[in-house]
Amino acid sequence: MSRKSDLSRSMVGLRHEGDPTGERVREAHRRHAGVRRRRLRLTGMRARLFAGFLAVAVITAGIITGASYFLIRDALVSRAGSNAKAQLLTDVQQNGQQLQLSTSGQTDTSIADTMAKNGGGVIVLITPRGTAPSDLRFGNQDIPKSFQDAAQTQVVQERRIIYGTPYVLTGTRISPNGPEVYLFTSLESEQAILTELMTIGMVSGGLALVGAFAVAFAATRNVLVPIRRLGHAARMLGQGDLDVRLEVKGTDEIADVSHTFNETAEALARSIAELRAMDAASRRFVADVSHELRTPLTAMTAVTEVLEDVEDADPTTVSAAHLIANETKRLARLVEDLMEISRFDAGTAAMRIEDINLPELIEATLATRGWTAKVMVDAPSLLATRIDARRMDVVIANLVGNALKHGGEPVALSVLDTGPVVIVQVADSGPGIPADALPHIFDRFYKADKARGRSEGSGLGLSIAFENARMHGGELSARNRPEGGAVFTLRFPKAAQGAEADPDAVEQTPTSTDSGSGSGSGSYERPQGVSV
């Protein structure tokens, strides 16, 4: 049986009546697969490798730039502080005696200007006569009280920001009761150096990111290209291409994986070839045995029919003759079913498409088997279809026969015309199909009642009906009704598309219903008026 029919069969009982073709299920699967693929792209190996390389580059550039900034900043500030302290001591040494002998504020201001010109900073003198700054913007208010107290006995320094500009404030007292000298040294040049350093660091970091991106691209290409090839080969292998192989390059892990894949594909190809050979041999065996049994069974059937007509024999002989006749007929039906299955497997089953009024075909099917009084039919009087009458007869007979035998009366058969698709439902009033049997109800030789290992039915009737429905471009499904009982639903297009049979070599289509009654066999003979 083809993979398509196996897939359709696995969906039996899972499709909702409102979604007969399963389109909504497939659409949901496509949306889920699309979301999953997008999620995999965002969190795939390439994204992770790029993120890793870029993170390393950013962290490294940040550490180097930050460390350089703080080291250079401390060195610049320390140098500026040392220079300011040395300059202040020099100014005190050169102008200290003159400052102590000064008796006017004007002289103090002149000395402050002289010291500022020598040191390149701003001098603020605090004497008993007041404050004498070399720059009128600075004054006593810019010197903290705690700093003044500390400068009474030693040279002290402190970094301060005044009017938005960083300064190193250096101060001391010339003598225990002498004037105080404070030097404001600007750090603007050092700040400019640090700003330039940060700019260089940012540019270097950007270049590092570009380099990391290029390295990541090269690295991911070398890693991901073989992985993509492996994934493509795996998909091809999953789709049935058993000849796909990977080219093994190098001796790294990717090469090991490629070599392992090739070995696995080769072993799988050998296994599949062996299984196909075994399957073909088993199919040939079944077909050959069925064909060889067909001729003697025809003769045996004719003989048993003659034996059944004997009336003057004793009761024991008559009973034995009936038993032999029934078993011979059952064996003949089984052989016909096996031959039909063989044709399905070999792909040689042909269709004879005709213009058929489906309600009349159903009526003829029920009448031929004596089921007219047992089945309630709800169908329009006229429904033109293009189908294979014999195969559709097999499908209807199997569904109704199983409903009568394994379900329970009353059995309801309804026909619904939905436009391009015809829906036929057969519902019974029995206990329904066991939940564990529902997925396998169309499998070959499957019997829902395990206790009836020996029965009139072959276990092939529903499987043949399923294949006949598929040949019409339709599908056959089964489910249990909430109110009780099982319902089989057949959907097929009004105009079936199938291979036309050769008029000179029309195959005999089995009509097994697995019902076990004598009326269950016999082909559909189209009465007058069935063709439309």
CA 249 to chain CA centroid, Å, is 30
The answer for 70, left when phi > 0, alpha when psi is -120 to 50, beta otherwise, is alpha
Residue 52 located in a structural domain: no
Residue of 338, 243, 326 whose CA lies nearest to 292: 338
Cα 380–Cα 384–Cα 385 angle in degrees, nearest 5: 120
Contact 510, 336 (CB under 8 A): yes
Q: What is the DSSP letter of 328?
A: H
Residue 479 located in a structural domain: yes
Least confident stretch, 76-85, 327-336, 376-385: 327-336
Least confident stretch, 22-26, 97-101, 133-137, 408-412: 22-26
Exposed/middle/buried for residue 189 (C-beta within 10 Å: 0-12, 13-18, 19+): exposed
Q: What is the pLDDT of residue 427?
A: 92
Residue 424 located in a structural domain: yes
Contact 479, 432 (CB under 8 A): no
Q: Could you please report the per-residue DSSP string of 93-115?
A: HHHHHHHHH--SHHHHHHHHHHH
Residue of 402, 428, 398 whose CA lies nearest to 413: 428
Contact 135, 122 (CB under 8 A): yes
Residue 492 located in a structural domain: yes
pLDDT band for position 17 (cuts 50, 70, 90): very low
Three-state DSSP state, 148: helix
Give the CATH number for residue 374.
Answer: 3.30.565.10
Cα separation, 456 vs 333, in Å, equals 10
Exposed/middle/buried for residue 436 (C-beta within 10 Å: 0-12, 13-18, 19+): exposed
Q: Which amino acid is at 141?
A: Q
Residue 423's DSSP bridge partners are 416, 491
* Non-local CB neighbours of 247 within 8 Å, separated by 6+ positions: 258
Mean pLDDT to the nearest integer, 233-255: 84
Q: What is the pLDDT of residue 449?
A: 59
Least confident stretch, 86-95, 265-274, 284-293, 385-394: 284-293
Per residue in 339-354, pLDDT (tens digit) is 777 777 777 778 888 9
Three-state DSSP state, 330: helix
Q: What is the pLDDT of residue 357?
A: 93
Contact 398, 475 (CB under 8 A): no
Residue 425: give the domain boundaries. 350-502
Three-state DSSP state, 325: helix
The gap between the terminal CA atoms of the chain, to the nearest Å, is 33
Q: Could you please report the per-residue DSSP string of 185-217?
A: EE-HHHHHHHHHHHHHHHHHHHHHHHHHHHHHH
Residue 47 located in a structural domain: no
Q: What is the DSSP letter of 347?
A: T
pLDDT band for position 522 (cuts 50, 70, 90): very low
Beta 411-417 vs 156-162: how paired, if at all?
unpaired
Residue 401 located in a structural domain: yes
Q: What is the pLDDT of residue 42?
A: 54
Is a pLDDT exceeding 70 seen at residue 18? no
Q: Which amino acid is at 219?
A: A
pLDDT band for position 321 (cuts 50, 70, 90): confident
Q: What is the pLDDT of residue 41?
A: 52
Tally of domains in the chain: 1
Sheet with strand 122-127: strands edge to edge: 130-133, 122-127, 180-186, 165-173, 156-162
pTM: 0.46
Residue of 132, 115, 116 whose CA lies nearest to 124: 132
Each residue of 111-147: b (16+ CB within 10 Å) or e? bbebbbeebebbbbbbbeeebbbbeeebeeebbeeeb
In a 13 Å sphere around the CA of 151, the CA atoms on its Cβ side amount to 26
Mean pLDDT to the nearest integer, 467-474: 88
Residue 383 located in a structural domain: yes
Cα separation, 134 vs 108, in Å, equals 10
Cα 471–Cα 3–Cα 474 angle in degrees, nearest 5: 25
Per residue in 421-466, pLDDT (tens digit) is 999 999 998 888 888 888 888 887 776 655 444 455 567 888 888 8
Q: Which helix (H) or strand (E) holds 138?
A: none
Contact 363, 486 (CB under 8 A): no
CA 43 to chain CA centroid, Å, is 14
Cα 129 to Cα 91, 111, 146, distances in angstroms: 20, 14, 21
CB atoms within 10 A of CB 153: 10
Is a pLDDT exceeding 60 seen at residue 526? no
Q: What is the pLDDT of residue 425?
A: 93
Q: What are phi and psi of 355, to 5 degrees?
A: -85, 115
Cα separation, 492 vs 426, in Å, equals 15
Q: What are phi and psi of 513, to 5 degrees?
A: -115, 0
